[in-house]
Chain A
């Protein structure tokens, strides 16, 4: 977890493990919108466990606010667990697609070099246009826009962030605990509160 001062806003990746339930996206989204927090990106996908969904939400906020938001998300009936992490705690990627006129690329060797340098891979090559793909951090995908803009970038799109939590051992063990009707006392659920040493302070 971040050692930065909690008053400072920074990027947080919120990972939410959920049941697959219609309407849950709205339930989660309004927790941000009621506080007027902008969701920078949001991704839903399967998780390491069949039938369990994983939301990856990126926001720019103070840790204090993120903590409160996370506990309000976790409170939703169909939400299993919420984690929030700073950028140091996660491995993340975003994917971007770029559509450019094929003739420009064919004519200009420079463009081809730039694409290669930026790790772009051609997904589709047609007579009229070519679609490239890159994967990386925001700065990397952004970089290529600037590079391609002068050569007639026709379309651009970037995916939401997806992220793996460095310190996570996956959700399998936790799920087993959740499935027990009477969770045992060894189950430590309130790990938010584990930060202080003797008397808890946040």
Chain B
């Protein structure tokens, strides 16, 4: 990702002579210069000149026509998350643009690089309540890393260059460029495209301070019970190898946030599991027992920390993050290590002594044994009764061997998928972490597949969430993309039902959800499918889904009222995690 930014690039054929082209064409040339190959989009009046120009660029830019702009932006997110590149999304003005808002919010909170292009009414109509005019720049200001309105074609090359630089660098995020229709049509003297590498008011990478590295190393070297928490920052910084080297040398047990899952293989001996509300037992309890907590590329979300005033109070906290505003935002840092972890981790590794914390690691494993006995065994290997979500994921693991990309939606199935999916590779767990956007998985899986064509993509989705964006089956049908759709149907809005059961005396208020026959719906879109409810056929059905040529929808009827455990109830401390 960072490599792309340092490359000095200018189209050679454009250098010798100035071309007179339209703003729309300049946009497409700029996208090509930024090595964009795929666009997710939906046309409309205010973006028609861009779509008209795209007609001549179809051979170089693969435009995927989605069924709803929210689907388009989630697909862009999935693409970005699986490929490490920026996702590109087109939408028209007004309703097209406002349909992007959920995805922008999701991408901002989950640090996903996106460049969204919206059409806008003619500049002379701005502010007049023109047809399909919305003030999208102001609407999206809180949910974009940066946004900009173009009213003159000559602004386009620089605006796009800036957009890509900002979206990809530092802590990545979504940017939006709103282009007035006149600027799309307008012809101007295009002097060639120069990518952006520096904006004077923007410092994506804070400068690493050696003294903090030294202080951090000192704390780590003196620690008896050090504990590493890692988040998506490790992947965003492409620092998986540096991370592994660091924890291996220091011998420190490491746990992940759901956004960080997969940066270290699931079966790595130092990987002690998942953090947070539905995370593993040991990592949560021992957060309140460690003496040095080393947080790497994570932001202490409240779903991770539980009650803050009872969170790791005994520990010295070392926080490595590229975004200075995250340091001491929720959890006070004893030593702040600002910077790109790709740079800071090797600096730290050099200063730490090679050790093993065998006894301390053993402690995690003892908690794990208890969790297996109390929770995991029954969830993954039930002998009788209805199918559990956990056993579906377990059987899937046995078939994919951890090689697949798992995209999950939001709810119980998400927690189960994140807890149990075996991940051998980085960028393999794609889920809506910070925003918890139901309806994310199906379109994100489509995008993830386009971003990693050689990999199997399995979307694990609830019966509720699937119905939020199922129109994207049309995108699958038309594009022919190969996505495996695994619906875990508990006939409830399960996660809400779980809370109502545990905290509201089983007053099941509007969580009973009826679904259509999903297999018939899929077949209407020409997508093969199957529904099963018996344990006997589960593995074969999963195998059929995986080996089917093309997309396949498998609905598994799972037990209706299972709860996801362990659980840190809201307002409780991580060490008050419940096993039942």
- CB-nearest residue of chain B to A175: B200
Shortest beta-carbon distance from B94 to chain A in Å:
19
Establish whether residues B201 and A80, one from each chain, have CB atoms under 8 Å apart when the complex forms: yes
Establish whether residues A190 and B201, one from each chain, have CB atoms under 8 Å apart when the complex forms: no
A167 interface residue (CB < 8 Å to B): no
Establish whether residues A189 and B137, one from each chain, have CB atoms under 8 Å apart when the complex forms: no
CB-CB contacts below 8 Å: A168-202 with B: 175, 178-179, 181, 183, 185, 187-190, 192-193, 198-202
Establish whether residues B338 and A190, one from each chain, have CB atoms under 8 Å apart when the complex forms: yes
The contact of A77 among B199, B215, B335, B338, by CB within 8 Å, is B199
CB-CB contacts below 8 Å: B130-163 with A: 137-138, 141-142, 145-149
A89 to B338, CA, bound (A): 27
Given A30-B141, A200-B336, A190:B198 Cβ within 8 A: no
| Residues in A neighbouring B201, C-beta threshold 8 A | 18-19, 77-80, 178
- CB-nearest residue of chain A to B212: A200
Establish whether residues B138 and A77, one from each chain, have CB atoms under 8 Å apart when the complex forms: no
Range class of the A interface residue count:
35 or more
A74 interface residue (CB < 8 Å to B): yes
A197 to B365, CA, bound (A): 38
Given A19-B201, A71-B324, A199-B334, A30:B147 Cβ within 8 A: no
B298 interface residue (CB < 8 Å to A): no
Establish whether residues B336 and A77, one from each chain, have CB atoms under 8 Å apart when the complex forms: no
A72 to B142, CA, bound (A): 12
Establish whether residues B207 and A187, one from each chain, have CB atoms under 8 Å apart when the complex forms: yes
Establish whether residues B141 and A80, one from each chain, have CB atoms under 8 Å apart when the complex forms: no
A34 to B197, CA, bound (A): 31
| Residues in B neighbouring A18, C-beta threshold 8 A | 201
Shortest beta-carbon distance from B238 to chain A in Å:
20
A143 interface residue (CB < 8 Å to B): no
Shortest beta-carbon distance from A173 to chain B in Å:
14
CB-CB contacts below 8 Å: B496-531 with A: none
Establish whether residues A199 and B215, one from each chain, have CB atoms under 8 Å apart when the complex forms: yes
The contact of B145 among A68, A77, A175, A198, by CB within 8 Å, is A77
The contact of B335 among A27, A189, A199, by CB within 8 Å, is A199
B384 interface residue (CB < 8 Å to A): no
| Residues in B neighbouring A183, C-beta threshold 8 A | 203, 207
| Residues in A neighbouring B200, C-beta threshold 8 A | 19, 80, 175, 178-179
Given A23-B141, A72-B325, A77-B146, A198:B215 Cβ within 8 A: yes
Shortest beta-carbon distance from B557 to chain A in Å:
42
The contact of B332 among A189, A192, A202, by CB within 8 Å, is A202
A133 to B334, CA, bound (A): 50
Shortest beta-carbon distance from B576 to chain A in Å:
26
A67 to B328, CA, bound (A): 10
Interface mask (B310-334 → A, CB under 8 Å = 1, otherwise 0): 0000001000000111011100111
B55 interface residue (CB < 8 Å to A): no
- CB-nearest residue of chain B to A186: B207
A193 to B319, CA, bound (A): 13
- CB-nearest residue of chain B to A73: B325
A175 to B333, CA, bound (A): 29
Interface size on B, residues (CB 8 A): 36
The contact of A200 among B138, B197, B325, B333, by CB within 8 Å, is B333
A75 interface residue (CB < 8 Å to B): yes
B488 interface residue (CB < 8 Å to A): no
Shortest beta-carbon distance from A54 to chain B in Å:
13
Establish whether residues A185 and B207, one from each chain, have CB atoms under 8 Å apart when the complex forms: yes
B166 interface residue (CB < 8 Å to A): yes
Establish whether residues A71 and B203, one from each chain, have CB atoms under 8 Å apart when the complex forms: no
- CB-nearest residue of chain A to B332: A202
Question: Looking at A18, A19, A30, A71, which has the most chain B CB atoms within 10 Å of its CB?
Answer: A71
- CB-nearest residue of chain B to A78: B201
Establish whether residues B332 and A201, one from each chain, have CB atoms under 8 Å apart when the complex forms: yes
A146 interface residue (CB < 8 Å to B): no
| Residues in A neighbouring B212, C-beta threshold 8 A | 193, 200
A63 to B327, CA, bound (A): 15
A26 interface residue (CB < 8 Å to B): yes
The contact of A23 among B137, B197, B209, B327, by CB within 8 Å, is B137
B571 interface residue (CB < 8 Å to A): no
Establish whether residues B206 and A189, one from each chain, have CB atoms under 8 Å apart when the complex forms: yes
| Residues in A neighbouring B198, C-beta threshold 8 A | 181
Establish whether residues A181 and B332, one from each chain, have CB atoms under 8 Å apart when the complex forms: no
CB-CB contacts below 8 Å: B508-567 with A: none
| Residues in B neighbouring A199, C-beta threshold 8 A | 215, 219, 316, 334-335
A175 to B203, CA, bound (A): 12
A187 to B209, CA, bound (A): 10
A80 to B324, CA, bound (A): 14
Interface mask (B182-220 → A, CB under 8 Å = 1, otherwise 0): 000000000000000111111100110100100100010
A30 to B147, CA, bound (A): 15
A22 to B159, CA, bound (A): 14
Given A74-B325, A75-B324, A199-B215, A30:B203 Cβ within 8 A: no
Establish whether residues B336 and A34, one from each chain, have CB atoms under 8 Å apart when the complex forms: no
Establish whether residues A23 and B325, one from each chain, have CB atoms under 8 Å apart when the complex forms: no
Shortest beta-carbon distance from A79 to chain B in Å:
6
Shortest beta-carbon distance from A178 to chain B in Å:
5
Shortest beta-carbon distance from B470 to chain A in Å:
33
Establish whether residues A190 and B324, one from each chain, have CB atoms under 8 Å apart when the complex forms: yes
Establish whether residues B328 and A189, one from each chain, have CB atoms under 8 Å apart when the complex forms: no
Establish whether residues A68 and B329, one from each chain, have CB atoms under 8 Å apart when the complex forms: yes
Establish whether residues B202 and A200, one from each chain, have CB atoms under 8 Å apart when the complex forms: no
Question: Looking at A188, A198, A201, which has the most chain B CB atoms within 10 Å of its CB?
Answer: A201
A22 to B137, CA, bound (A): 10
Shortest beta-carbon distance from B273 to chain A in Å:
29
* Residues of chain B at the chain A interface (Cβ within 8 Å): 137-138, 141-142, 145-149, 166, 197-203, 206-207, 209, 212, 215, 219, 316, 323-325, 327-329, 332-336, 338
6 contacts between A and B (CB under 8 A): A78-B202, A80-B200, A187-B207, A190-B206, A192-B324, A199-B316
Across the A-B interface, give the 9 residue pairs with the lowest CB-CB distance, nearest first: A71-B325, A80-B201, A77-B146, A77-B202, A181-B198, A178-B200, A72-B325, A75-B325, A19-B201
| Additional 6 contacts, C-beta under 8 A, given A74-B324, A77-B201, A199-B316 | A23-B137, A27-B141, A183-B203, A189-B203, A190-B206, A193-B338
